[in-house]
Amino acid sequence: MNELTLIQKISVWAIPVLLAITVHEVAHGWAASKLGDQTAKMLGRLTLNPLKHIDPIGTVIVPLALLLLGGFIFGWAKAVPVTAKNFKNPRRDMAWVAMAGPASNLIMAVGWALIAKLGVILQASSPDIGLFLLYSGLAGISINLILLVLNLLPIPPLDGSHVLSALLPPALAWQYNRIAPFGFVILLVLLISGFLTPILIGPYSYLQHGLYALVGIQ
């Protein structure tokens, strides 16, 4: 997409980024609601209206800055509140709630792959529409796979940490969860030091190639 102007890049990435981040959070709230916690529902967070979920830094500034700098683009929305004490089995159910976010990103990545394929098909008859759908589809695949892989890292408070916490013995899980206040700092250090990209690139590339093969795009 290097040949696109900045305005074209923003138009291509805006919808995929907003959907990826918004649906991810709604999926957490939806799963929590199904498991007995209605906190997100009562606060009006079970909606696809992005205005209810936008975090000025994570949803706007960070993705835009990364778009300008090139490389991986990711972001985040305001976390959907979950009250674990409302679950019958808090440790297990929190793991299911955590997995709902990355699962939604995987489903959306498949959907965007189909849109990219449609773009390829339409390029012969409607090149402008076809190219826009292709680029939007590729952007949708990228942002969703990045959020999927990133959130599965076992670094509190990322989703993967809730899954690991549920698998650990209670005493060890309690010790593990104590690093949660430092999770953002850990991620920031990994990002600035350049270690985050090598951690993400392997599983990201594997999933990306799998989706490209699934819909038959190069």
Residue 194 lies in a domain: yes
Residue 40 lies in a domain: yes
Active site amino acids: 25
Question: Considering its fold, how many domains does the chain have in total?
Answer: 1
Segment 59-88, tens digit of pLDDT: 888 888 888 877 678 778 888 999 999 999
- Distance CA(145)–CA(22), nearest Å, equals 15
Q: Which two tokens stand for residue 109?
A: 């990545």
Instruction: Provide the residue type at 105 as one letter.
Output: N
Residues 109 and 145: beta-carbon distance below 8 Å? yes
pLDDT at 218: 74
Best CA proximity match to 82, nearest among 157, 149, 165, 174: 157
Segment 165-204, tens digit of pLDDT: 999 999 999 999 999 889 889 988 988 898 988 999 999 9
Residues 16 and 112: beta-carbon distance below 8 Å? yes
Q: Rounded to the nearest 10 degrees, how much is the dihedral formed by the CA atoms of 172, 184, 146, 73?
A: 180
Residue 1 lies in a domain: no
Domain that holds residue 135: 6-215
Residue 101 lies in a domain: yes
DSSP 61-80: IHHHHHHHH-S------PPP
